[in-house]
Structures are given as structure tokens and as C-alpha cells.
Structure 1
Amino acid sequence: MRIELARRRSRWFLIIALVAGMSLFVAACGSDDDDGGGGDETTAESGEATAEAPKCGLGNGEEATGEPIKLGAIATKQPGTDFSDIPNTASAFFECVNDNGGINGHPVEHIVETEQTDPGQDAALARKLIEDDGVAGIVGSTSLIECDVNHEYYEQQGFYVINSGIAPTCWSTPNSAPVNMGPRY
């Protein structure tokens, strides 16, 4: 049963990663206009600037209604260090995906937890997300210590993590996929 659950999580993780990657690719391409110029388009009637609305998800404007796909994130948030903007940005993207058909009709529920660089708290949050909340993956985590504290637990549970790598462990663990430049930039 555990193997089947791990396979199901891996399949959802792959789907989510592909959707996120394709969405970023499409967003990076921008609009394709015929004039080749970089200026604002204007309407002939009003002279006001117009822009095409960005699309995410299926881009169909229909709210996702299926069973939610739960994802989690852990971020450091304490006096002097607040990385919660990163998972909150991921949450905003998932809201847009949900408003545009979700992932094959399923909305994404992004559960963001914050920690204060306490290893016990960090470990408890990872277990809460996986065991209590039942997340299918960890996406958008940005923590000073989370990779060091939780990477073995994630490996045991068959979880792959898309995160911002801060701790050196983020860069040397096979189940961590940091999206930032890392320690060698």
C-alpha cells in the first residue's frame, strides 16, 4: 500500500511539476504581436493602452471543482528573516490555476506553514503536512533549516521537494529540487 501511495504521489508531483514548468515557459514567451515593437498597444477608438490578460492553468476561466490536490510548504518567518513571500507567491499562482480549470479539473490546495528555525517545530510541520494534511508534494518551501531537518524524512516517505535551497543539504539531496541559483553563483 505504501508503494502504491508513493507511486500516486510521484505521478501527481510529475503532473504538477509539468504544469508549473509549462506555465512558466508560456509566461516567459509573452505575447506574439505582428508589429515586432516593444511599446504598448492602443485601441484606435479610445487611445487607451490595452494588454492581453496572462493565462495560467487551462486558461479557460472555469473554476476547478474536482477533489483538491494538496501541496505543502514550510517557510522561515521570524523577526529579521521572512521568507513567506516565496510560498505565498506559489499559492497565488495556484489560485490562478484553480480559477482556470485547475489540473485536469482538480483545484490545488497549497498549505503554507511557517517556522522560526526551531528543528523540533520544523520536523513537526513536515509530519503534519504529510501525515495529517495528506499533501501530495512539497512546493515552494524556503527555510533556513528545513532541508537539514527534514530531508531524511522526505526520502523515507518518497517525497520530492521543490524548494529554494538555502541549507547545503538542499543541494546534495536527491529528493530536493532547488529552483534558485544556489551556493555556487
Structure 2
Amino acid sequence: MTSARRNFVIRATAVAFAAAALSGAALAQKKYDTGADDKEIKIGNIMPYSGPASAYGVIGKAMQAYFDMVNAQGGINGRKVKFISVDDGYNPAKTVEQARKLVEEEEVLLVFAPLGTPPNSAIHKYMNQKKVPQLFVATGAAKWGDPKNFPWTMGWQPPYTGEGRIYAQHLLESFPNAKIGILYQNDDYGKDYLKGFEEGLGAKTSQIVSKVSYEVTDPTVDSQMVSLKNSGANVFFNITTPKFAAQAIKKAAEIGWKLDAHYLNSVSASVGSVLKPAGLDNSVGLITTQYLKDPTDPAWVNDADFKAWTDWMKKYYPGGDLTNAFNVTAWTHALTMAQVLRQCGDNLTRENVMRQAANLNMQNVPMLLPGVEIKTGPDDFYPVEKEQLSKFDGKTWVRFGKVYGK
């Protein structure tokens, strides 16, 4: 062997050993907690597939469809996502049972997008005591953005208090002499909206002439609607989940309650699951806020992201309703979760999941409205904080005015 050849072999062998050492180091750097390994990431989810909030159940089904697409494309960093979604019937006691099942029996890495304020409140302390991420909860209660006291819990959608203040600001500008009636769900969800709205009204809270609540176990809100009409209110703030939102809109029309403005919280603004059951004619003039592209809005017909969403729906969730905005909610939540897992790389520990969730800067996100972004930080656990007012014209929501929020 010539000297040059011998030197080449020595160098090549050294490079091979170095590469092997680096490869070994890379393998050694892989970190996993319960629920993740080289092949799979287990994600838990709690959804009301039954009970009074079952209209939200489509969100869980659509999330499964999103991860089906991800897995068909090779998974995340080479790992398939196993999405385990269970039913709690929107019953907090059942939520506790299901959370324990997911964490202690199914041994998931995290619980993703559990839905509802009362259900999430019931497992808030448990998830933090167990140090298991309760991530991108599907509720806008302000309490989900408290990293100091609850570092394992993070919201996703705009806080209800902020949305309530937006309606109050619009009301003061457009109906300064209004007599206001309010219907709200008697729990943290309803009270957060109410708190933001009253804060926004400031000294004008004296214009609230009637404020009535309902329980999630009530069969209807018919009696509350009659009471509100009889109060003489000419502006109505409708703080309800989908079943009761549809009832309230329909009842207002049946009893001939003529309103100058009817504000409907965004969590129940789906054309497919709320306004159609309530009657599209009965829904004309409703005002809500939006931060997602509404699937019934013709403005997005030629939008590339909307086309991608539609193609996904048709391929992976063919039984899904293309007019139901909750399917957009599912898509945007799931793509955020996927981004966090991508950022985790091979460090799939629960601590790193939360670290990456608190390090998001996602611009031009598919199916979010222009100007709306997903941004978090170690002290900012509110990923989405911008919204725009919209009015229903009988067919779709029509956006107007500025984008509110920071």
C-alpha cells in the first residue's frame, strides 16, 4: 500500500469513527418521557361526544383526521401520532375520570385540547400536580394563561374576557343608549365573558337591565328568553354554548323580540352547527368575533389555504360538514400541536413539550384571519389574541372594522 493510500485509509477510518461517535451521541441525546419513543407519540384528548355540548364533538373527530393526514405523510420527525380521544359528556366528574385514564392507564405524553371550561377546571390541579401538559385547551377562560401558578396548562384561543370587552366597545360606539339584556352559562366560562363585557362597559354597566343565567343541565333557555324580552332590553349579549345558542336565537324570533343588536359569543358562531338549527333567517344581523377563516365566507373561495383545508376535509374527513367552523377550529389547534412536536425534535419530554409550546412564533397560519398570529413566550400562555367583528348576512359572516387585540 502506498503512503498516500495508507494516509487516505487512516483519514477515512478516522472520519468513519467520528461519524459513528456523532451518531452515537445523537442517539444518546434522544430523550423520552412516558408516551413517546422512537416510533410513536401518544396524545390524549377529552371531548364531549355526548351530553349538552355534543355539538363540539366534531372537533375531536376532525383532529383525528388531521393526525391521520400527518401519519400518512410520514408522521412527525419519523414518529406516528397516536391520538386517543375519549368522551366526558361535558361532565366535570367524568372529565376527571377520563384524565386519570389517559395519564395513568393509557400513559399519554400529554393531554391536548380538552374541551370546555368546567371540564378543564376539574382537572387543572391534577394535570399540574402530575406535571403532564394540559395543552391548547379548547376554551378561552383567562385562567389558562397563568404560567407562574399552573406551568403545565396553556390555552389557545383568545381569552373570553378580551372578547367580551370587544363587544362592549362596539356597543358603546354604536348603541350608547342601549338597554342591555344578558344570558350566560352559570360557570367560569359564562362568568369570564360577563366579566370582560362589564369591564368594557365601565360606568355604563347601569344600562344592563336584565342579567339571567342557565345551567348546562337545563333542557332549554326558553323561560330566560321570555324574561329578557320582558325586561325591555333592546340589545342582547348571548353567552351560550351551541345547543343553547341555537335555542336562544330561535326563541327570540318566536317571541318577536325586536333587537337593535344581538351579540353572540364566538364559541357558538358556527353556521353549520348553530345558525342552521336556529334558522338562518332568524340569525340575520347577529354580531360575533372571528379569528379563523369561516368556511361559509365566499371571500376565501380562491384562497390557497382554504383550498388545502377543503382538500383535507374531503380526503381525511369526508363525512364532515364543510360549513361547520368547528372543523376549522380542529385544524388550527392540531397544526399548532404538530408544530410543537416538530420543534421538540428528539427531546420528547413533557418539560420540553411545554418549553416549545411557550416558544411559538407562527405567522401567516393557514385558516387564521390575516393579521392573526400564534405567538407565545415563557410569560405569555395566550397563543391567539387577535379578533375581528363580523355580522351574519343570512348566508355567511361578513367581517367589518379593525382587528382587535395585541
> Could you say which TM-score interval applies, normalised by the shorter chain?
0.5 to 0.7
Moved more, 111-120 or 123-132: 111-120
- Counterpart amino acid of residue 91 in structure 1: Q
For 2:70, what is the secondary structure of its paired residue?
Answer: helix
Distance in structure 1 (CA, Å) of the matches to 2:65 and 2:33 = 22
Distance in structure 1 (CA, Å) of the matches to 2:102 and 2:51 = 24
- Counterpart amino acid of residue 158 in structure 2: M
More helix by share: 2
Task: Give the equivalent residue in structure 2 for 1:70.
Answer: 42
For 1:78, what is the secondary structure of its paired residue?
Answer: coil
Structure 1 stretches of 4+ with a deviation exceeding 4 A read none
Distance in structure 1 (CA, Å) of the matches to 2:157 and 2:140 = 9
Distance in structure 2 (CA, Å) of the matches to 1:136 and 1:121 = 20
- Counterpart amino acid of residue 143 in structure 1: G
CA contact (8 A) 1:76 1:144 kept: no
Could you give the per-residue CA deviations for residues 115-173 of structure 1, whole angstroms, max 9, x where no partner exists? Answer: 12333211110000011111101112212422211011110111222221255543444
Label 1:79 to 1:120 Cα distance change in 2 as closer, same or farther (>3 A). Answer: closer
Distance in structure 1 (CA, Å) of the matches to 2:125 and 2:68 = 30
Label 1:154 to 1:91 Cα distance change in 2 as closer, same or farther (>3 A). Answer: same
Structure 1 position 68, deviation (Å): 2.1
The aligned length equals 126
Task: Give 1:86's match in structure 2, choosing from 39, 42, 59.
Answer: 59
CA contact (8 A) 2:75 2:81 kept: yes
Task: Give the equivalent residue in structure 2 for 1:175.
Answer: 152
Task: Give the equivalent residue in structure 2 for 1:126.
Answer: 99
Could you give the per-residue CA deviations for residues 70-93 of structure 1, whole angstroms, max 9, x where no partner exists? Answer: 101111233442222222222211
TM-score, with structure 1 as normaliser: 0.59
Distance in structure 2 (CA, Å) of the matches to 1:80 and 1:122 = 14
Distance in structure 2 (CA, Å) of the matches to 1:111 and 1:179 = 20
Task: Give the equivalent residue in structure 2 for 1:138.
Answer: 111
Task: Give the equivalent residue in structure 2 for 1:163.
Answer: 137
Task: Give 1:154's match in structure 2, choosing from 127, 135, 142.
Answer: 127
Distance in structure 2 (CA, Å) of the matches to 1:79 and 1:126 = 18
Task: Give the equivalent residue in structure 1 for 2:369.
Answer: none
Task: Give the equivalent residue in structure 1 for 2:316.
Answer: none
- Over the matched positions of the two proteins, sequence identity in percent amounts to 22
Label 1:80 to 1:113 Cα distance change in 2 as closer, same or farther (>3 A). Answer: same
Structure 1: unaligned runs, 5 residues or longer: 1-6, 13-65
Structure 2: unaligned runs, 5 residues or longer: 1-30, 164-406
Structure 1 position 100, deviation (Å): 0.8
TM-score, with structure 2 as normaliser: 0.29
Q: Does 1:8 pair with 2:32?
A: yes
Q: What is the RMSD computed on CA atoms of the aligned residues? A: 2.5
Moved more, 80-89 or 134-143: 80-89
CA contact (8 A) 2:114 2:120 kept: no
- Counterpart amino acid of residue 138 in structure 1: V
Task: Give the equivalent residue in structure 2 for 1:26.
Answer: none
- Counterpart amino acid of residue 154 in structure 1: M
Distance in structure 2 (CA, Å) of the matches to 1:8 and 1:155 = 19
